[in-house]
Structure 1
Amino acid sequence: MSTRMNNKVVLVTGASRGIGRDVALAFASHGAKLVLAARSTQRLAQVEKEIHDRGAEALSVPTDVTSQASVQAMVDAAMHRFGRIDVLVNNAGVAKVGVIESATFHDDVSHTLEASVFGMIRVTQQVLPILRRQGSGSIVNMSSVMGRKAFARFGSYAIVMHAVSAFSDALRQEVAGSGIRVSVIHPALTATDLLRDVDEAQMPLAFRHMTPLRSEDVGRAVVTAVRRGTPRVVMPRVANMLLLGEALSPRIGDLIAHALSLRPVARLLGISRGTTYHQAIARRQDDAQIHSISGESTSQVTVGTG
C-alpha cells in the first residue's frame, strides 16, 4: 500500500458504490483514513470492509445529504473519530434523462438539484470552517463533461452539472491564499449505474456507442488531482476538444457533439472501442453475481455524478 497520503482524513459522499466507492478505495490505497457517507448502510459496510482489507482505516456514516441534520451528524462523527478532515470529495447525486418538454422535467431538475447541488453545498459549508481552522485541505467536486457542454435529453443533468462547475469556480477564488485547494472533475460517460435504467434508445446518439470510462480510473484521477492541486480535470483528454469548441462558439460545440454521434468519428478519436455503456454495466453485474455465488465480495457500481 502506498503511503503518499498517510493518515490524511478523506470524507467521501456517495461512497457506497461506483465512483464514490472507487474514490474511497483509491485514497485508501495511498494510506488515507476514510469517512464514508451515503444512504445505504449495507453498501457502506461493504466498502468499509474493502478498505479494511487494504489495511486502511474507515468510518462509515449513513447520511442523507438532503438533510441538514444528517449532514451535521456525519461531520460531527468524522471529527469525533479522527479530529480533522483533510479532503472532502462531494460525489453524492442523481441523474434524470428526458426532453425539456417532458411533463416531469421541472421535477427532475428540482430533485437533481436537491441531491447534487444543495447536498454538496450543505456538506461543504459544514466542512469548510474545519479546513479554514486547519489552514489547509482540499475540496473535490464531481461534475461531468456536461458541466461544460449540455447534450440533448440531458438538460436537467447538464443544468445541475453546470451549477457544480460554477460553485467550484467561485469557491476556488474565495479560498485562494487560505491553504485550501478546490478541484472539479469532469468525467465523460462512466460505467456506473447512474443511467442503468435508461432505455438505450433514449440515450443521446453519441452515448449509445461510446465506451464508458472505468470508475476505477476516475477514482485514481481524483487522488492525483488532490496531490497536485489540479483545479480542473477533464476525462478523457479528447473531451477537451468538445469543450474548446463550445467555448469558441455554441455552433462549433454542437457540430462536434453531432460528429461524436457518428461511430466512425468516435472510433477515430478512441472513444468508441466496441463496448457500450449498457454492455459494460451488464458485464459488471454478471461479474458481481459470479463473485457473490463463489462467496467473494461483490464489485459494486453506483449512482455518481460522472
Structure 2
Amino acid sequence: MGVSFASRVVLITGASRGIGRAVALAFARERALLVLAARSAERLAQVEGEVRALGAEALSVPTDVTSPDEVRALVNAAVSRFGRIDVLVNNAGIGKVGCVESETFEDNVRQTMRASLFGMINVTQRVLPVLRRQGSGAIVNMSSVMGRKAFARFGSYAIVMHGVSAFSDNLRQEVADGGIRVSVIYPALTATDLLREANEAEMPPPFRHMTPLSADAVARAVVAAVAKGKRRVVLPRMANMLLLGEALSPRIGDLIATALTKQRIARLFRMSNGKTYHETIAGYPG
C-alpha cells in the first residue's frame, strides 16, 4: 500500500458490527492503534478481542454518538491513552425503509438524522481540535450511493446521506489548510444489519435482487482511501454509471434506477451475481 499505519491512532464509531467492525479489523492488520466506539459494551468487547488476536492494541469506549458528554469522554479517553488521533472513521448510523406517504416517514428522517448526521457532526467537532493541534489527520465519513442518488422507499436514509455528502464537501474545504484530509465513502447495498428488519417486499425495488457488497470490501476501500488521500470512493465501481447518469440529467438517473429493478440489467452492471441481501445476512447473528 506504500503507507504505514503502524502506531497510528484510528478512532472508529459504530465499531461493534458490520462495516465498523470490518474497518477495525482492517486497520488492526495494518498494526494501527484502535479506539472503538459503539453503544453496545458487550459487542465492543468482542471486537476488541478480535483486534487483539491480530496483534493490535485497542481501547473500547461504549459511546452514544448523539450524546455530547459521551463523545467528549470518548475523545478524552483516546487522547489520554494514545496521546493523539490520526484517523477518524465516522461510521455510526441507522437506516429505515418506507415511502414518503408512510405515517412514520417524518419520524424516520428525524431518527436517522440524529444518529447518522448529527452524531457524525458531534464526533467530528470534538476530534477536530486534536487534529488541528497536530497539524495532520484524516477523517472518513461513511455515506452511501443514496447520498448521491435516492431510490424509492429509501427517502429518509437518502435525505440524511445527502446531508453527509454536503457536510463532508464543506468540511474538506474548511480543514484543507490544516493538513487534514477528508474522504467520503459511497457504498451500494452492503451485507450489514442496516436493513435486517425490512422484509423483502418493503425493500427499495433495485435492492430486492441485488447482491450486497461485503463489509470487508468496504473496509479495504476505507483503508485505501486514507492511504491515498482519496476524496471520494464509490463502491462498486459500476455504481459510478448511475451517479454519472444522475449528474447529467435526473431523467437519466431515474431511468437507470428503474432499469436496475430488472435483474438482467443489475447483472449487466455487475450488481446482481449471487445471493440477495436477505439471503446473505440470514446466517449472520442478529
If the TM-score is normalised by the length of the shorter chain, which range does it land in?
over 0.9
**1:292 matched to which residue of 2?**
none
| Cα distance in 2, alignment partners of residues 206 and 84 from structure 1 | 43
Question: Is the 1:183–1:231 contact (alpha carbons within 8 Å) kept by the matching residues of 2?
Answer: yes
Q: Does 1:38 align with 2:38?
A: yes
**1:206 matched to which residue of 2?**
206
Question: Is the 2:147–2:160 contact (alpha carbons within 8 Å) kept by the matching residues of 1?
Answer: yes
SS at match of 1:51: helix
Question: Is the 2:37–2:62 contact (alpha carbons within 8 Å) kept by the matching residues of 1?
Answer: yes
Residue identity over aligned pairs, in percent, reads 71
Instruction: Tell me how far 1:269 sits from its aligned partner.
Output: 1.8
Q: Which runs of 5+ in 1 are unaligned?
A: 286-300, 302-306
- Which amino acid is 1:188 matched to? A
Q: Does 1:18 align with 2:14?
A: no
Instruction: Tell me how far 1:204 sits from its aligned partner.
Output: 1.6
| Cα distance in 2, alignment partners of residues 212 and 274 from structure 1 | 9
Instruction: Tell me how far 1:284 sits from its aligned partner.
Output: 3.3
SS at match of 1:233: strand
- Per-residue CA deviation, residues 267-293 of structure 1 (Å, 9 max, x unaligned), is 1221111210000001334xxxxxxxx
Question: Is the 1:3–1:30 contact (alpha carbons within 8 Å) kept by the matching residues of 2?
Answer: no
Q: Does 1:268 align with 2:268?
A: yes
**1:123 matched to which residue of 2?**
123
**1:246 matched to which residue of 2?**
246
| Cα distance in 2, alignment partners of residues 95 and 221 from structure 1 | 21
SS at match of 1:175: helix
| Cα distance in 1, alignment partners of residues 22 and 8 from structure 2 | 17
- Which amino acid is 2:70 matched to? S
> Residues 283-298 of structure 1 correspond to what in structure 2 (within 5 A)?
283-285=283-285
Superposition CA RMSD, Å? 1.1
| Cα distance in 2, alignment partners of residues 23 and 120 from structure 1 | 17
Quick check: 173-182 or 152-161, which moved more?
A: 173-182
**1:156 matched to which residue of 2?**
156
**2:76 matched to which residue of 1?**
76
Task: Identify if the C-alpha distance between structure 1 residues 30 and 3 changes in structure 2 by more than 3 Å, giving closer, same or farther.
Answer: farther
Question: Is the 2:3–2:227 contact (alpha carbons within 8 Å) kept by the matching residues of 1?
Answer: no
Instruction: Tell me how far 1:4 sits from its aligned partner.
Output: 2.0
Question: Is the 2:16–2:47 contact (alpha carbons within 8 Å) kept by the matching residues of 1?
Answer: yes
| Cα distance in 1, alignment partners of residues 173 and 269 from structure 2 | 34
**2:60 matched to which residue of 1?**
60
| Cα distance in 1, alignment partners of residues 85 and 222 from structure 2 | 16
**1:297 matched to which residue of 2?**
none
SS at match of 2:138: strand
Q: Does 1:236 align with 2:239?
A: no
- Which amino acid is 1:11 matched to? L
Question: Is the 2:192–2:281 contact (alpha carbons within 8 Å) kept by the matching residues of 1?
Answer: yes
| Cα distance in 2, alignment partners of residues 45 and 32 from structure 1 | 18
Quick check: 193-202 or 262-271, which moved more?
A: 262-271
Instruction: Tell me how far 1:176 sits from its aligned partner.
Output: 1.3
Q: Which runs of 5+ in 2 are unaligned?
A: none
Instruction: Tell me how far 1:3 sits from its aligned partner.
Output: 8.4
Q: Which has the higher contact order (CA 8 A, sep 6+)?
A: 1
Question: Is the 1:245–1:253 contact (alpha carbons within 8 Å) kept by the matching residues of 2?
Answer: yes
- Per-residue CA deviation, residues 48-87 of structure 1 (Å, 9 max, x unaligned), is 0000000000000000011000000011110110010000
SS at match of 2:182: strand
| Cα distance in 2, alignment partners of residues 227 and 267 from structure 1 | 31
| Cα distance in 2, alignment partners of residues 108 and 275 from structure 1 | 28
- Which amino acid is 2:227 matched to? R
- Which amino acid is 1:20 matched to? G
> Residues 90-239 of structure 1 correspond to what in structure 2 (within 5 A)?
90-239=90-239
Instruction: Tell me how far 1:188 sits from its aligned partner.
Output: 0.2
TM-score, with length taken from structure 1: 0.92
| Cα distance in 1, alignment partners of residues 63 and 22 from structure 2 | 18
- Per-residue CA deviation, residues 194-250 of structure 1 (Å, 9 max, x unaligned), is 001101001122101000000011011100000000000000000000000001110
Quick check: 181-190 or 96-105, which moved more?
A: 96-105
| Divergent runs of 4+, >4 A | none
Question: Is the 1:45–1:60 contact (alpha carbons within 8 Å) kept by the matching residues of 2?
Answer: yes
- Which amino acid is 1:21 matched to? R
Instruction: Tell me how far 1:178 sits from its aligned partner.
Output: 1.5
TM-score, with length taken from structure 2: 0.98
SS at match of 2:181: strand
Question: Is the 2:97–2:204 contact (alpha carbons within 8 Å) kept by the matching residues of 1?
Answer: no
- Which amino acid is 1:102 matched to? S
